Amino acid sequence: MGSSNLEYLSESPALQSAVLAKDATVERVAGGFTKFAEGPIWCPEGYLLVSDIIGDGVWKVFPNGSYAPHRKPSNFANGHTWDLDGNLLTAEHTSRELTRTTANGLIATVASHFEGKRFNSPNDVVVRADGSMYITDPPFGLTPPYSSYEQEPELDFNGVFRIDGKTGAVTLLSREFKYPNGITFSSDESQLYVNDSANGQITVFDMRPDGGVTNPRLFANLSALGSQGVVDGLKVDVAGNVYCTAPGGVAILDAQGLLLGKIVVPEQPSAVAWGDSDYQTLYITAETSVYRIRLQLRGTGSGIRKTTNY
């Protein structure tokens, strides 16, 4: 597919050479997931963890295309990230919890309620440098096939929450999203990006010193990229570019929200992760498969594990 994998919506050819590695192509790594693959995260031991939500499992996917079970059942696990100690944080649909898995495999609840009411179905999670955790909580996992059985919501909104890394206290950051989904920090953690699968928009907040957010504003509207699929996974590279799975591919925006282009994938993408030893490979989960493409830029954020004890 060559350079056509990145379709820039700008007349500047220099942008293409600034993002993709030379002669980069989209490669299919592995397939056969139960539609759809989600929540990818790279383990420094040399493999990717991938949630197979409808299949109720998490798989180890190796760069050579082989894969092996990691956790099954998984409570219909979705998004993952690492905490500051290198433990795996997982947003679970059926349990309606954010959980932590330690190096010895022990799984414990981090948070499950806000003001005495259960979360809807935690979807994605990111960790700030102070150890606080930020989650999106849409209703997707309240009903099959994205959960094992039908459940009733206890909250009357779909929120974005902060979980204090020391006390575990849960704070509501926003209830203004219909279906909050992907979430990530800017490379310097001064801003928080959250997208909404209902309208294709990415909202950016300024971070407050206490870990709260302020000044919400539209960062980008990706609903016009195509008619199939929704905005979903979010990541940021060291240059501050934002990567968002969206209708038509993986959209790449600069730090000002300018749409530089999109990586076209054979299936509708759901999420992305930085991987390989240099974190310059973008791994993409997309319906039944995992794809990858090489970049010139390194990834950043809590999707990169800072320790090696897992």
Residue 129 belongs to domain with CATH number: 2.120.10.30
> Could you tell me the pLDDT band of residue 6, with boundaries at 50, 70 and 90?
low
Q: Does residue 174 form part of some domain? A: yes
Q: Does residue 306 form part of some domain? A: no
pLDDT reported for residue 261: 84
Q: Does residue 37 form part of some domain? A: yes
CA 181/CA 245 separation, integer angstroms? 11
pLDDT reported for residue 279: 97
> Could you tell me the pLDDT band of residue 19, with boundaries at 50, 70 and 90?
confident
| 89 vs 14, higher pLDDT | 89
Task: Please report, for the chain, how many H helices and E strands are present, in that order.
Answer: 1, 28
Q: What residue numbers bound the domain in which 126 lies?
A: 2-300
Number of domains the chain contains: 1
> Could you tell me the pLDDT band of residue 4, with boundaries at 50, 70 and 90?
very low
| 14 vs 158, higher pLDDT | 158
pLDDT reported for residue 18: 78
Q: Does residue 229 form part of some domain? A: yes
How many residues can be counted in the chain?
310
136-179 pLDDT per residue, tens: 999 999 999 999 899 999 999 999 999 999 999 999 999 999 99
227-260 pLDDT per residue, tens: 678 999 999 999 999 999 998 899 999 999 988 8
Q: Does residue 309 form part of some domain? A: no
Q: Does residue 91 form part of some domain? A: yes
Q: Does residue 255 form part of some domain? A: yes
pLDDT of residue 284 exceeding 80, the answer is yes
3-class SS shares of the chain: helix, strand, coil, % to 5: 5, 45, 50
Residue 67 CA: distances (Å) to CA of 58, 63, 281, 303 = 10, 9, 18, 20
- Are the CB atoms for 267 and 253 separated by under 8 Å? no
CA 287/CA 50 separation, integer angstroms? 12
pLDDT reported for residue 227: 60
The mean of the pLDDT values for the chain is: 92
pLDDT reported for residue 9: 45
Q: Could you tell me where the beta strands, DSSP code E, fall in 93-212?
A: 97-101, 107-111, 113-114, 117-118, 124-127, 133-136, 160-163, 170-174, 180-185, 191-196, 201-207
Alpha helices in the chain (DSSP H): 14-19
| 8 vs 28, higher pLDDT | 28
> Could you tell me the pLDDT band of residue 308, with boundaries at 50, 70 and 90?
low
Q: Is the peptide bond between 145 and the residue preceding it cis, with omega within 30 degrees of 0?
A: yes
| 121 vs 10, higher pLDDT | 121
Q: Does residue 74 form part of some domain? A: yes
CA 138/CA 178 separation, integer angstroms? 8
pLDDT of residue 62 exceeding 90, the answer is yes
pLDDT of residue 24 exceeding 70, the answer is yes
pLDDT of residue 13 exceeding 90, the answer is no
